[in-house]
Structure 1
Amino acid sequence: MSNLAFSEVTVSLLIFIFQDYSHAALFAKAEELLEKRIKDGDPLACFLKGQLYYEEGLYQEALIQFEKIKDTDFQAMYQLGVMHYDGLGTNEDPEKGVEYMKKILNSDSSKARHLKFAAAYNLGRAYYEGCGVKHSTEEAERLWLIAADHGNPKASIKAQSTLGMLYSMSALKDLRKSFFWHSEACGNGSLESQGVLGVMYLYGQGIRQNTKAALECLKGAAERGNIYAQGHLVEYYYNRKFYSTAATIAMRTTENDDIDMLAKMTDCLPTYIAKGVAMAAFYLARCLHLGRGVQQDQAAAKKYYSMVS
C-alpha cells in the first residue's frame, strides 16, 4: 500500500537544527526531542515519533507508537493499515489493512478528511489485486474515481495515473478516458503519466496524433528519469535514422537494469520500466550489430540482445 510522508516539515527542521551531527546522532537527538514533547503532552509527538521510526525502517518500534494512538489519531490508523497490509513490523494481514482504510474512508471526522483520497486509492488497489478482499475491477474503478476526485491536484495523483492505465486495458478499454486521466495526472506532476501521454500522442491513441506534443512529453519525462519514455525516444530516433542520438540515449537507459531500484526511485511501474529497458537494449544492439551511429561491435551487440528477452 501507499505510504504518506506526514512529517517532512518536522524532519527537515530537525535536520537543519542538528545538521552538524552524524546521522546516528541526529536520529538520537530527534528521538530525545520527541520523547520530551510526549511527556509535555504534545498530542502530535507520539505520531511523529512513530513516523521517525517508520522512515528509519524500524517498523516494530513504529508499530508500537502508532498502536498507542490509533483510536484517536487517523494518521496513525492509516500507517497501521499500510504496515499490516504490507507486513512491515508485523505479520502480513491484508484484511486488517483493508479494515483500517475502510474506517478512514467511511469516517465523518474532519480529522480523517485529508487521508480519504489516499485510503480510497489503497482500497482500490486491494480490490484490483484481490488481496484482503474479493477481487473486483468494478469496485477498484469506483474507489479510484473517488480517490482521483475529478483531477483535483490535492487528491490522489497515483489514482489518476492508475485510472489512465486501467482504461488502456482490454477489460475496460476506453482510450479517450485513458488519455483524460493521464493528462490530469501529468498536469499534477505524475512522471509515469507524462511518459504514457508522450506515447499516446506519438501513435494517436485516445487523441489525434501530434508528434510535437509527443516529443515534448517524452523528452520531459525522459529527463526526469522515466525509462519507458527513454525507450520510446530511442525507437523514435532509430526509425528516423538518427542513429547516433538513438545509441546515446540507449546507452544511458541500459546503464542500470535494476528494475526494482528504478521503480522506487521514479515511482513508475516495474512493467513499464522493463519495457523501456528492453526497447533501448534492442535498438542499441541493432546499432552495434550494423555499425549505425556507433562502431560495429558484434560481442557488445550480443550482450544487449540478451537483455531483450
Structure 2
Amino acid sequence: LDFITYTGNYSHTALFARAEELLAKRILDGDPLAYFLQGQLYFEEGWYDEALAQFEKIKETDFQALYQLGVMYYDGLGTKEDPEKGVEYMKIIINSNSPKARHLKYAAAYNLGRSYFEGCGVKHSDKEAERLWIIAADHGNPKASVKAQSTLGMFYSTSNPKDLKKAFFWHSEACGNGSLESQGILGVMYLYGQGIRQNTKAALECLKEAAERGNIYAQGHLVEYYYKRKFYTKAAAFARRIAENDNIDMLAKITDCLPVYIAKGVAMATFYLARCLQLGLGIQQDQAAAKNYYSRACLLDPDVASDLELAANHGRI
C-alpha cells in the first residue's frame, strides 16, 4: 500500500465529505439528531450560511439549534448582526421547562449576562448581568459555566466598590474547574495579597503553571517577579520570548483568554525588556532597542506602560 495514497484518504477534505455523506444518510433514515449535527459540522467548518439554514429548519424542536442560532445572530455569523434576536433566543432557553433545554441554561445565562453587561441587544444593567452570571456559575459547579465563574471574578475586581474577596472566590472556583485565565489572575492575587493573605509560594505555583499552559498575563507577571528579585538574566530572556508575541487576537483564540489581559502581559514583559536593555541588566545594553520596546509597550497597553514608567522614574524598578 502506497503511504502517500493511504494518508491522502484521511485528508481533512475527505473526512469532511465522508461525515457529510453519513449525516445525509442518517437524515434520510429519520434520525432527528442528524439535522443538528449536520448544521454543527458546517458551523465548525466556518460555513455559517449553510449552518444557519440548517439550524433554522429545526429551531422549533431543537434547543441546541436555537442556542447556536442565538450565538450566530448575536455575533453576525452567516447573517446580519441581530443582537436582539440573539437575546430573545437565549431567554427562550433560560425560561424553558423542557429537559432538553436544561444542559444549555448555564451557557445561555452567561451569554445573556454578557448582553446586559455590554448593553448589546438589551438595555445595559450591571445588576442583571451579575444576577445571570451567578445563575450560570451555579456555586462553582464544574458542570456549569466556568466562563461565568471567571467573569464574576473579573466583575468583582473592577466593580465600584471592588469586592476582592468575592473576586478571589470566583477565580478559585473557575481555576479549580480548569480556567486558564483565572489561574493566572489567582497567581497575581496571591502575589500581592488581593482578596486573600499574601502567599508568594502559592502565587508562584499558580503563575508558573498558568504560564506553562500559555497564559501571557501570568508570564508578564513572572517577568516582573524575576526582575524585582534581580534575576535579570532570567527576566530579560523570558521577556524577550514574550515580547515576540504580536498577534493578540490569535493568542486569545488559542488560550481562550481575554485579549485585554494578553495585551497587558505582553506590555509588561516588553517594558521590562526595554528596562533591561536600557540599563544593561542581564543583557547587553542597547539604547536604540530599548527605545523601540518602550514605544511598543505604550502601544500595547498605555496604562500598564504609564504605571511602570512612573515606578522607573521613582527608582522602584
Match of 2:113 among 124, 134, 145: 124
Correspondence for 2:284: 295
Q: 1-side partners of 2:8 and 2:252: how far apart?
A: 30
For the residue of structure 2 that corresponds to 1:71, the secondary structure is coil
Deviation string 1:254-289 (CA, Å, 9 cap, x unpaired) is: 111211111111111111111111100000011111
The AA in structure 2 aligned to 1:44 is L
The AA in structure 1 aligned to 2:228 is N
Match of 2:53 among 64, 78, 97: 64
Match of 1:197 among 186, 194, 201: 186
Deviation string 1:94-137 (CA, Å, 9 cap, x unpaired) is: 00000000000000000000000000000000000000000000
Correspondence for 1:260: 249
Q: Does 2:1 correspond to 1:36?
A: no
Within a 5 Å distance, the mapping from 1:124-273 to structure 2 comes to: 124-273=113-262
Give the count of matched residue pairs.
292
- Bigger shift: residues 51-60 or 255-264: 255-264
Correspondence for 1:10: none
Conserved? CA contact 1:231–1:279, under 8 Å: yes
Instruction: Provide the aligned C-alpha RMSD in A.
Output: 1.1
TM-score by length of 1: 0.93
State the identity as a percent.
81
Q: Does 2:267 correspond to 1:278?
A: yes
The AA in structure 1 aligned to 2:190 is Y
Structure 1, unpaired ranges of 5+: 1-17
Conserved? CA contact 1:166–1:172, under 8 Å: no
Correspondence for 2:303: none
- Bigger shift: residues 134-143 or 289-298: 289-298
The AA in structure 2 aligned to 1:207 is I
TM-fit CA distance, 1:19: 8.3
TM-fit CA distance, 1:304: 1.1
Deviation string 1:201-243 (CA, Å, 9 cap, x unpaired) is: 0000000000000000000110011111011000111011000
Assess, with a 3 A threshold, how the Cα gap between structure 1 residues 153 and 19 changes in structure 2: closer, same or farther: farther
Q: 1-side partners of 2:13 and 2:275: how far apart?
A: 49
TM-fit CA distance, 1:21: 2.2
TM-score by length of 2: 0.90
Q: 2-side partners of 1:111 and 1:277: how far apart?
A: 43
TM-fit CA distance, 1:295: 1.4
Structure 2, unpaired ranges of 5+: 1-6, 299-317
Q: 2-side partners of 1:199 and 1:21: how far apart?
A: 45
Match of 2:40 among 51, 58, 66: 51
Q: 2-side partners of 1:106 and 1:53: how far apart?
A: 28
Deviation string 1:169-212 (CA, Å, 9 cap, x unpaired) is: 14251000000000000000000000000000000000000000
TM-fit CA distance, 1:296: 1.5
TM-fit CA distance, 1:252: 1.4
Q: 2-side partners of 1:36 and 1:273: how far apart?
A: 45
